[in-house]
Structure 1
Amino acid sequence: MDWKLGIISDEISQDFEHAVKVIKELGASYVEVRNLWNKNVTQLLDSEFSEMKRVVEKYGLIISNLDSPSFKIYIDDEKGYKEHLQILRKVIELSKKLDIAYTRIFTFWYQGELRYYIDKLAERFNSAIDIAQSEGVILVIENEYSCFVGTGKELRTFLDKIRTKWVKVLWDPGNAFFARETPYPDGYELIKGDIMHLHIKDAMVKDGHFIWMPVGKGMINYKEQFRALRGSAHVISLETHYRNSANDPEASTRESFNGIIKILKELS
């Protein structure tokens, strides 16, 4: 199967080498790095960053991207804003060392509908866009249901507001579902031309509650979503969030990854 499949390592374990070993065993080619050894990738010492690279190279895998929590703060938090611009600078610096052309960013914690905050959000993004442009690294907004931009529709609205080639999309159908959007086709169709990376997790509503599910067992139409993505250059990165009855992250990730493979085989 000609798919670029990846897994976020800390969804398996904080023991980075063990996580990478599992990713290799499952058959994915890409490692997405967020938290490892109980710290965010932006907090690594130089020696730890070198060790991270060594481990990935040892198993013949590729780092797809580095995940900082940039702009997962309240929009009026001035101190936090300055700190997060520094976090953004750091993750861009590390990404460039790995020749990665983009990095993830969020859109501040949700406090109300986007239309009430879109001007302030655009203003807050100005400094981040300036940094991205000067460093030649694209910012990819992850649609996050706990932030102002949680759906494909909100992504489209915000991208049309700021109109810059330095901001694209990290599409997360699971987050869109939690934000009460039908991810495919509704959300996807609005932003498909701006996607640079994907996070995959499945979800459903059970007894009135949103819950994460193994990929292929939830309510998201992943068969058609993957069909629409066939032939694209994007890395499809598993971020399962689902936990089995034993609350075992590794076993849960294995279950979800096997769910992805099952769907992709049905397409071939």
Structure 2
Amino acid sequence: MTTTPWQLSGFGDEISPDPEVQVAVLLALGASHVEVRSAWGVNVVDLTDAQVDRLAAVLRGAGLGVSAVASPIGKVDIASDLELELARLRRVIAVATVLGTTNIRVFSFFRGPDVPVASTREAVLRAMSALAAEAAAAGVTLLHENEKDIYGDTPERVHDLVTAVDSPALRLAWDSANFVQVGVARPHDDGFELLARYVDYLQVKDAVAATGEVVPAGRGDGQVAATVRALRDRGYTGFVSLEPHLAQAHALGGFSGPAAFGEAARALADVLRDLGIEAR
């Protein structure tokens, strides 16, 4: 087994809109943290101060830490007003502060229909640099997720993004399934070594290359076990966060329900156990 356990987390709103239910399921699965995307059906960027305080009290009472705030920042068209996105980031930073985490998930912008991705590069880099500067000033870390159809959706463009912005406040959350769904048939083989030095966070779901269907870890083509092994061998001891998307997926997230979330957790546990990794 690894000498230092990895920290097990998961998207609470994949279980239920109700944080009390989220907490109960995560604790039953042995998790020590939750990744917060929404509560009571309200996205983190739209939670009121009173709701944030109430959520923090629920999590604190259960003894659960917050691994990251899974924000929607950057999940808008690159032609949108950047000042509005910076304002939304400031709100998310305030939420993260109350919840006790310095990790904030972000994205690198959609583009309009028929807009070539290469034509958006300079605008994306300017926007991501501005977001990273805001994060650095606040002492938080942005974790870029390789979401489908944003600028950074392939290993090569993710690498371009993180190296061009070149900020310690911009790091990477690795998602194998999303790579598969944009045509990276073997994401570990084709992308991990390129990006490994920038990966600070592991989000776990898998996908079938032929259909794009999201499946539990190890049951698709995402080479999840290979990436987990490589992280272990590099001495990784960070978060491993379940984002199963087994019931439905939509623009701002996904849902699994308690039973399917449990199935995803057991599949991940099998992968980790086979590689001698303890997660809690």
1:189 to 193, 203, 207: 193
The 5 Å alignment of 1:233-252 reads: 233-243=237-247, 249-252=257-260
Q: Relative to structure 1, is the Cα distance of residues 157 and 248 closer, same or farther in structure 2, using a 3 angstrom cutoff?
A: closer
Q: Give the equivalent residue in structure 1 for 2:20.
A: 17
The 5 Å alignment of 1:160-239 reads: 160-181=163-184, 182-206=186-210, 209-230=211-232, 231-239=235-243
> In structure 2, how many angstroms separate the alpha carbons of the residues matched to 1:40 and 1:170?
20
The unaligned stretches of length 5 or more in structure 1 are: none
Is the Cα–Cα contact under 8 Å of residues 34 and 41 in structure 1 kept in the other structure? Answer: yes
Q: For residue 125 of structure 1, report the CA deviation from its aligned partner.
A: 2.3
Q: Relative to structure 1, is the Cα distance of residues 248 and 70 closer, same or farther in structure 2, using a 3 angstrom cutoff?
A: closer
Pick which of 96-105 and 8-17 moved more: 96-105
1:263 to 248, 252, 271: 271
> In structure 2, how many angstroms separate the alpha carbons of the residues matched to 1:146 and 1:23?
30
Pick which of 156-165 and 22-31 moved more: 156-165
Q: Give the equivalent residue in structure 2 for 1:90.
A: 91
Q: For residue 62 of structure 1, report the CA deviation from its aligned partner.
A: 0.9
Q: For residue 234 of structure 1, report the CA deviation from its aligned partner.
A: 1.8
Secondary structure, counterpart of 1:104 in structure 2: strand
Secondary structure, counterpart of 1:205 in structure 2: coil
Secondary structure, counterpart of 1:27 in structure 2: coil
Secondary structure, counterpart of 2:78 in structure 1: coil
CA deviation vs aligned residue, 1:111-150 (integer Å, no higher than 9, x gap): 5554332111112223212311221222221111121111
Pick which of 31-40 and 155-164 moved more: 155-164
Using structure 2 for the length normalisation, give the TM-score: 0.87
| Equivalent AA in structure 1 for residue 261 of structure 2 | T
Larger relative contact order (C-alpha < 8 A, sep ≥ 6)? Answer: 2
Task: Say what the alpha-carbon RMSD is for the aligned residues.
Answer: 1.9
Is the Cα–Cα contact under 8 Å of residues 142 and 169 in structure 1 kept in the other structure? Answer: yes
Secondary structure, counterpart of 1:233 in structure 2: coil
Q: Relative to structure 1, is the Cα distance of residues 248 and 240 closer, same or farther in structure 2, using a 3 angstrom cutoff?
A: closer
Identity %: 29
* Count of aligned pairs: 262
The 5 Å alignment of 1:14-163 reads: 14-78=17-81, 81-111=82-112, 112=115, 114-163=117-166
Q: Relative to structure 1, is the Cα distance of residues 248 and 197 closer, same or farther in structure 2, using a 3 angstrom cutoff?
A: closer
Secondary structure, counterpart of 1:76 in structure 2: coil
| Equivalent AA in structure 2 for residue 228 of structure 1 | A
